[in-house]
């Protein structure tokens, strides 16, 4: 994606995984509070999650580089500078409505084919109107392909593998192309789509299982909530960098779909 697998690649999504159940409370001061009237949110779940937990300003407004560095490090255990180039590219698009060229409101990132792109996992395409808000109907098709609501008979059934995630992403893009007569298969979409999947997998990865827990994915997308109550702990595991994201991007892209 044009934002270097970034903001509409969406930090997207974005924690060193810990075994499920190892942490059952939210950090003090970073409790989940969903969006309130007047607050700003983006097409990117990963950014919205940080705002909902106060790792970014809860208002979602006047986001600067220092806020992004703090957020990705403390919410998701990324090296603080991992998304510096992505932030700068967002600024360079001159989408801001804050009156300050070095900041933006989260909703500013909904500009079509700048940061946002067609075929999102959880948003509808710009052609149909609202490309910023979570769309439960779009997400339901993706969740079904990820098997998020299948009966979990074994430990293995509780996780989403790279192969399953990659195929669900490709199917979502195929659906969007079929119904959207103006689907834009730009370089932004071609890179951003697998990049988004790579990002949420890296963010929610359980290293021991070599997969992402389904319960974590559900809370992240459906509630835009860090799955602390389901066992997620950002302070554990190896700190993530651009190299981590790049390696996962290669794994996602290598899956035959």
Q: Of 64-73, 103-112, 227-236, give the lowest mean pLDDT range.
A: 227-236
According to the model, what pLDDT value does residue 22 have?
45
According to the model, what pLDDT value does residue 24 have?
65
Q: What is the three-state SS of 71-104?
A: HHHHHHCECCCCCHHHHHHHHHCCCCCCCCCCCE
Residue showing tokens 């827990």:
213
Report CA-CA distances (Å) from 146 to 95, 161, 169, 211.
33, 9, 9, 12
**For the chain, what is the domain count?**
1
Domain of 180, CATH number, reads 1.10.489.10
Average pLDDT over residues 150-162: 86
Q: pLDDT for 37-93, tens place per residue?
A: 999 999 999 999 999 999 999 999 999 999 999 999 999 999 999 999 989 988 998
Higher-pLDDT residue of 4 and 84 is: 84
Look over the chain and give the mean of its residue pLDDT values, rounded to a whole number: 88
Higher-pLDDT residue of 5 and 184 is: 184
CA 253 – CA 162 distance, rounded (Å): 10
According to the model, what pLDDT value does residue 9 have?
52
Global pTM value: 0.89
Burial 145-178 (b: 16+ CB within 10 A, else e): bbbbeeeeeeeeebbbbbebbbbbbbebbeebee
According to the model, what pLDDT value does residue 23 have?
39
Range of the domain at 160: 45-254
Q: Of 10-19, 73-82, 113-122, give the lowest mean pLDDT range.
A: 10-19
Q: In this structure, is residue 13 part of a structural domain?
A: no
**Three-state SS at 160:** strand
pLDDT tier, 114 (very low <50, low <70, confident <90, very high otherwise): confident
Q: In this structure, is residue 218 part of a structural domain?
A: yes
Q: In this structure, is residue 34 part of a structural domain?
A: no
Q: In this structure, is residue 117 part of a structural domain?
A: yes
pLDDT tier, 193 (very low <50, low <70, confident <90, very high otherwise): confident
According to the model, what pLDDT value does residue 248 have?
98
Q: In this structure, is residue 4 part of a structural domain?
A: no
Q: In this structure, is residue 139 part of a structural domain?
A: yes
**Percent with pLDDT over 90 in the chain:** 70
Q: In this structure, is residue 138 part of a structural domain?
A: yes
Q: In this structure, is residue 40 part of a structural domain?
A: no
According to the model, what pLDDT value does residue 235 have?
66
């Amino acid at each position: 994606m044009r934002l270097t697998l970034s903001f509409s690649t969406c930090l997207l999504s974005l924690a060193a995984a810990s075994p499920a159940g190892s942490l059952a409370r939210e950090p003090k001061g970073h409790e989940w509070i969903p969006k309130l009237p007047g607050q700003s949110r983006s097409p990117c779940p990963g950014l919205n999650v940080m705002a909902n937990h106060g790792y970014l300003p809860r208002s979602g407004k006047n986001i600067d580089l220092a806020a992004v560095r703090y957020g990705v490090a403390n919410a998701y255990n990324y090296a603080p500078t991992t998304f510096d180039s992505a932030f700068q590219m967002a600024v360079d698009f001159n989408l801001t409505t804050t009156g300050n060229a070095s900041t933006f409101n989260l909703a500013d990132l909904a500009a079509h084919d700048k940061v946002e792109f067609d075929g999102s996992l959880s948003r509808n395409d710009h052609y149909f109107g609202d490309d910023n808000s979570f769309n439960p109907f779009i997400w339901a098709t993706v969740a079904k392909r990820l098997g998020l609501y299948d009966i979990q008979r074994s430990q293995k059934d509780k996780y989403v593998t790279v192969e399953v995630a990659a195929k669900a992403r490709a199917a979502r893009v195929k659906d969007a192309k079929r119904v959207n007569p103006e689907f834009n298969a730009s370089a932004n979409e071609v890179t951003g789509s697998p990049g988004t999947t790579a990002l949420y997998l890296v963010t929610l990865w359980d290293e021991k299982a070599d997969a992402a827990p389904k319960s974590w994915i559900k809370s992240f997308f459906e509630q835009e909530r860090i799955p602390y109550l389901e066992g997620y702990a950002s302070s554990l595991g190896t700190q993530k960098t651009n190299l981590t994201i790049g390696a996962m991007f290669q794994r996602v892209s290598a899956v035959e779909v």
